[in-house]
Chain A
Amino acid sequence: MTDTAATFIAKSTIKAPDLTHRRTINFNIGRYNAAVPGGKQQFDQLMLARERAKNRKWLAIESLDKSLERFEQHITARGAKVIWAETGEQALKEIEAICKAKGCKTLVKSKSMVTEEIHLNKYLESIGIESVETDLGEYIQQLDEEPPYHIVTPAMHKNKEEIARLFADKFGTLPTLTPEQLTLFARQQLREKYTKAEIGVTGANFIISDIGGVAITENEGNARLSCAWPKTHIVIVGIEKVIPSINDLALFWPLLSTFGTGQKVTTYNTIIAGPRQADETDGPEEMYVILLDNGRTNLLANAKTREALYCIRCGACLNACPVYKNIGGHTYGTTYSGPIGSVITPHLKGMNEYKHLSYASSLCGNCTEVCPVRINLHELLLENRHEAVDEGDSTKAESFSWKLWKIASLNRRMMNLGNGKLKNAFINRVFKSWTQHRADLRFSDKTFNQMWKEKRLNHRGTKGTA
């Protein structure tokens, strides 16, 4: 077992029976579950909408090179600069170069999982630049020096009392502040940062191929401030976020918000198609778009798992996943947690090191059921398992056991060997992790097969197949 897998098991052993954690998560996801059916009401034919969305993502991903080049062509025509980054390190270097050229001391950023993926904040800190998270949940997480717990709701695991205490520790505010008071306080802090920052960094929910734009969805207005106020706007986005046309937003915006938060449409939806133009009054003077690969082309090259690139990061599969709800986002030890994280991380960061995530699923299929773009998530976990075995990543003991299993399963007589007592003694001793918190298995003295033969076949005086 790799260290990463061992850490995952150790952390999940602590988290899974943690009842306080379970209550908080069930409460917060419960609120989400209560809201989603309301959002779904806006679709006359929800399944058709989901299938259509999958089809549009299929189109965008199957022609990814052309989709991205079209985007680049249109957005550069309006003065934005597009940078293609193959790795996280390349993206960081590019951002550093821009920061140096602009003499940046303070940078504001909106919530973006891609910046988490490349550990942007840590890097900026190491080169002496203050990077301020402006999404309230991310701001809380940054104060607490924790990565986001959930891809949509970063501080989902914290209750309001914990947040009030955190603010009291960091700012000396009263530990009795209400959520409204805490929000106002954070807003005051952040407003100051916006006016100071030389650069704003955002992610993007969609890369719009046909017009050459990016679309950003948010509920707080902080992303709009982050890209509108500072003189330079850097967008960093994974290459899979592309959709073919601006017209597709009519489908993707409501799907994203309904499946993400239960809203009909998210509060702020912004389309940005370049820096401020000559005839425009506001917007940044310069705009950079960094298109990040960082392992995504591994998924693209693999026809079986390619559809994982259709993901619009709504977080529905996390909220639907009983494993996620029991172990929480941090236990995964990855940027992307939950079912989608378990599907893509082995491809982004190495099968051998992260294959355990594909096995850490009961395959209940609820993720597949809720995915707005109909990604067959639980089947992709099975594809990953198969790939891991094919690559020779499984242990010798495991390979040997399945070879034995095959021999026994091809031979009915072997399956009737031994009696119940023998099997009980053997199985309950070997599978200690079965019996640790479960009563022993009790094998039948005779198999159904033996009993049937005795009762039915011999009785009728026939042998073999009935």
Chain B
Amino acid sequence: MNVSIFIPCFIDQLYPSVAFNMVKVLEKVGCKVHYNANQTCCGQPAFNAGFWEESKAVCAKFLKDFEGSDYIVAPSASCAGFVRNYYNKLFTKGEAASVQSRIYEFSEFMVKVLKVEDVGARFFAKATYHDSCAGLREIGIKSEPRQLLSKVEGLQLIEMNDVETCCGFGGTFAVKFEPISIAMADQKITNASATDAHYIISTDMSCLMHLDGCIKNKKSGLKVLHLADVLANF
């Protein structure tokens, strides 16, 4: 199966290993992975800030970069959800329809399209799974990442309290309203720590980037891992 990957801007810049791990997993399950090296960003940052005109220019580039008929897979529910649910606010009906129908979040693609749950990964650790808001409410995944994780040998997954509550990232919100964002992260980290897990796993590196920053500042021993980082352990 031909898969065109979209690597979100912050993963491109900060966490390339997450992208490589997703590629590794996709290739293991038989996908032919394509990467259009012209790609940049889905346009969400400016859109969420209210700068729709600037956003639209970048979204238009995204549509062009992902022309064709391949599935588009991204290691981010936030970006995939944005393209799927918000491009219609910028483009007239139909302009974005093809891309919107082909774009998937990584775990959603694995379970719903490829019908794969067991990738043969092994990871001996205790972990808790953080539902990203975009995963839950924009893409509508709850069981998919858990199904994948349940098949990882050695992984003990423990659910935390208030698992569906936002971690407090929210893009520029994390900077503009720093005290609120930090307070939200504080509760997320407290709930995660209470499970005795060593790792917080999620589909979204944006949540994890924010949580990791707070975890390190608090000097808590928790570590964050993208779902692809766990599944690529084979």
A interface, CB within 8 angstroms of B: 9, 12-13, 16-17, 22, 322-323, 326-327, 359-366, 368-369, 382, 384-390, 394, 398-399, 402-403, 405-406, 408-412, 415, 423, 431, 433-444, 446-449, 451-453, 456-457, 464-466
B residues 1-55 near A (Cβ < 8 Å) are 7, 9, 11-16, 19-20, 34-41, 43, 45-52, 54
Q: Which residues of the partner chain A approach B209 to less than 8 Å between Cβ atoms?
A: 441
16 A-B pairs, CB-CB below 8 angstroms? A323-B177, A362-B169, A365-B137, A399-B51, A402-B46, A402-B49, A409-B43, A431-B175, A436-B178, A437-B182, A437-B213, A438-B182, A442-B14, A443-B14, A447-B12, A452-B37
Q: Tell me the interface secondary structure of chain B in the complex.
A: helix
CB-based nearest B residue for A321: B166
Residue among A362, A408, A412, A441 with max Cβ neighbours from chain B (10 Å)? A362
Report yes or no: A448 in contact with B16, Cβ–Cβ below 8 A: yes
Interface SS of chain A: helix
Choose among A362, A406, A436, A447 the residue that contacts B16 (Cβ–Cβ < 8 A): A447
Which positions in B face A, CB cutoff 8 Å? 7, 9, 11-16, 19-20, 34-41, 43, 45-52, 54, 57-58, 61, 86, 133, 136-138, 164-166, 168-184, 186-187, 209-210, 212-214, 216-217
Verify B12–A16 contact, CB threshold 8 A. Answer: no
Say whether B137 contacts A437, CB under 8 Å: no
Please pick, from B43, B61, B173, B217, the residue contacting A437 in the complex, using a CB distance under 8 A.
Answer: B217
A361 and B179: CB pair below 8 A?
no
| Chain A residues, CB < 8 A from B20 | 448, 451
Cβ of B33 to closest chain A Cβ, rounded Å:
8
Distance (whole angstroms) from the CB of B77 to the closest CB of chain A: 12
How distant is A54 from chain B, measured CB to nearest CB, in Å? 18
Chain A CB within 10 A, most for which of B40, B43, B49, B181: B49
B131 to chain A, nearest CB (A): 10
Contact B38 A402 (CB under 8 A): no
Judge whether A437 and B178 touch: CB under 8 Å.
yes
A449's contact among B37, B170, B182, by CB below 8 Å, is which?
Answer: B37
> In the complex, A364→B206 CA distance in Å?
13
Name the distance in Å between A329's Cβ and chain B's nearest Cβ.
14
How many whole Å from A417's CB to the nearest CB in chain B? 11
Contacts of B7 in A (CB 8 A): 448-449
Q: How far is the CA of A159 from the CA of B61 in the complex (A)?
A: 55
Closest chain B residue to A434, Cβ basis: B175
Smallest Cβ-Cβ distance to B17: which chain A residue: A444
Q: How far is the CA of A466 from the CA of B86 in the complex (A)?
A: 28
Q: Contact: B137 with A369, CB < 8 Å?
A: yes
Residues of B contacting A369 with CB < 8 Å? Answer: 137
- Known interface pairs A361-B173, A362-B173, A389-B51; A444-B14 also in contact (CB < 8 Å): yes
**Cβ-neighbour of A466 out of B36, B177, B178, B186 (below 8 A):** B36
Nearest to A436 among chain B residues (CB) is: B178
What chain A residues lie within 8 Å of B37 (beta carbons)?
Answer: 412, 449, 452-453, 457, 464-466
